[in-house]
Amino acid sequence: MNIKAASFITSCTKVSDCPPFDRPEFALIGRSNVGKSSLLNSLVGRNSLAKVSGTPGHTQLINLFSINDHWTLVDLPGYGFAKVSKQSRATLEKMITGYLTQRSQLTRVLVLIDCRHEPQVIDLEFVEWLMSNGVPMALVFTKADKVSPTFLKNSMAKFLEAISEWCPQPPPVFASSAKTGAGRKEILAYIGQSIGL
Average pLDDT over residues 19-36: 91
Average pLDDT estimate for 123-130: 94
**pLDDT of res. 156:** 97
- Is the pLDDT score of 81 beyond 60? no
**Predicted local distance difference test score (pLDDT) of residue 92:** 78
Nearest Cα to Cα of residue 128 among 155, 103, 88, 159: 159
**Residue 164 pLDDT > 70:** yes
For residue 67, pLDDT over 90 is answered with: yes
**Which tens digit of pLDDT belongs to each residue from 83-113?**
556 666 677 788 899 999 999 999 999 999 9
Residue 21's region, left for phi above 0, alpha for psi from -120 to 50, else beta, is: beta
CA distance 111 to 188: 15
What is the per-residue pLDDT for 58?
47
pLDDT at 72: 96
CB 59 within 8 A of CB 148: no
Q: Which residues pair with 138 in a beta bridge?
A: 110
> Which of the two residues, 83 and 123, has the higher pLDDT score?
123
The CA-based angle 191-195-197, given to 5 degrees, is 85
